[in-house]
Amino acid sequence: MKRILLLMAITALLFSCSKNEETLTETQEPIDLTLMVNPSIDKPESIYDTKPFGMYHGVVISKQADFHGKIWISLYNNNKSSALVSDNTNEIYFYLDKQDSNGNSKIFHFKGKSSSFDLNLTDYKNPIVENVTIKNEIGLVNIVKDRSDQRAMAILGVYEDDADPAFNGTWDVISSGISHAELGFGFYFQKVVITNPNGTTMQEDTTFENFDYPCYGATAIQPEFENDPNGTGYVDIVAQNQQSPWGDDIAYYDIGFSNYLSDNNSDPSYESGFLGFEQLPDYPFDCYIFLDHGYWAWKTRTGTITFDTSALITSTLSLNQAPKKAIEARSISLNGFNKYIYQLKKTR
């Protein structure tokens, strides 16, 4: 009897050790953070501005948008070959696992915990990330080259159908950091990247329509994007009267976000939001600010676009400073379809 109990005890001990070892293997992966790309510190080296090596930046999602974040890739930049994926809550680090066996290959395999991807630099000016796995789910990535004199930027957005909330997906904007010549500030859009509702395809648009924008006293301008690249504390993202191929049809959209206008307007009841064409109190430009960040129409569907403002610089004005407000429903026309929008107005 004692012998049986002893064997049971030994078996239990071995099982326990085996289980602990398995858990450690699954949950602990040694990472040398000094070799990992750090977007708050690392900057692209100028020697790689016109070469495949260097840094890349963009957006990433996994199936059904269970993971929606940004990606930074460093390839021999500052002696680091690694990548970081972050959704403001979770971080996944990758290291350069191998380069394809062909010595002339421009494909680099990165590996992380339950995650991996291939960086294809056959044409480094149009980099491709393929065979993406994020936390054991199929993923999609879209990136641009990050240069020392043109810092790439990305903002994460989501869209939703007003009448059918189940119809939703991601709507991201990427800038390669080319200065906006017409406005004299901000940067041009490089891509608008949209995923379908089930998160299985990612569609990009790199062609944008000119539009007039009285808010900046500008006519025939291209979409503009600025995400505090110089520490100004201001964010602008404006793209109106735009069209984008979406599946088998065309999507029409307007986007507007600015805390610059909000902060310069002396009435703090107007917070950052969609920019349109109506006079703001105490502000000379022909603008108004709504609560939503953007609107879209596709076939018979219409809805809103909302950007991740937690990743942006927020307005310095506090809603606690605002006078009493009432919400007034109002119908306006955007791209030929009617939307009901809620506009903040001061209570008289």
Rounded to whole angstroms, the Cα distance separating 228 from 130 reads 30
What pLDDT is attached to residue 264? 53
List of residues 6+ apart from 6 with CB closer than 8 A: none
Task: Tell me how crowded residue 78 is: count the other CB atoms within 10 A of its CB.
Answer: 17
pTM: 0.77
The string of pLDDT tens digits covering residues 157-170 is: 999 999 999 999 99
The string of pLDDT tens digits covering residues 297-329 is: 999 999 988 887 654 433 322 222 222 222 222
Cβ burial, residue 268 (10 Å; 0-12/13-18/19+): middle
Rounded to whole angstroms, the Cα distance separating 217 from 212 reads 8
Residue 137 has pLDDT above 60, yes or no: yes
Mean pLDDT of 245-263: 79
| In contact, 240 and 256? CB cutoff 8 Å | yes
User: Per mean pLDDT, which range of 96-110, 116-130, 137-151, 304-318 is the poorest?
Assistant: 304-318
Look at the block and give the residue holding tokens 């790439």. Answer: 152
Rounded to whole angstroms, the Cα distance separating 258 from 304 reads 17
C-alpha closest to that of 157 among 315, 311, 270: 311
What pLDDT is attached to residue 271? 46
Residue 183: C-alpha distances to residues 85, 219, 220, 236 (Å): 32, 10, 11, 12
| In contact, 133 and 114? CB cutoff 8 Å | yes
In this predicted model, which residue has the larger pLDDT, 48 or 274? 48
C-alpha closest to that of 92 among 76, 77, 71: 71
Pairing of strands 294-298, 249-258: antiparallel
Look at the block and give the residue holding tokens 């109506």. Answer: 278
Question: What is the chain's mean pLDDT, rounded?
Answer: 74
| In contact, 247 and 169? CB cutoff 8 Å | no
What pLDDT is attached to residue 196? 87
DSSP per-residue string spanning 213-277: EGGGTEEEE--EEEE-TTS---EEEEEEEEEEEETTEEEEEEEEEEHHHHHHSS-TT--S-EE-S
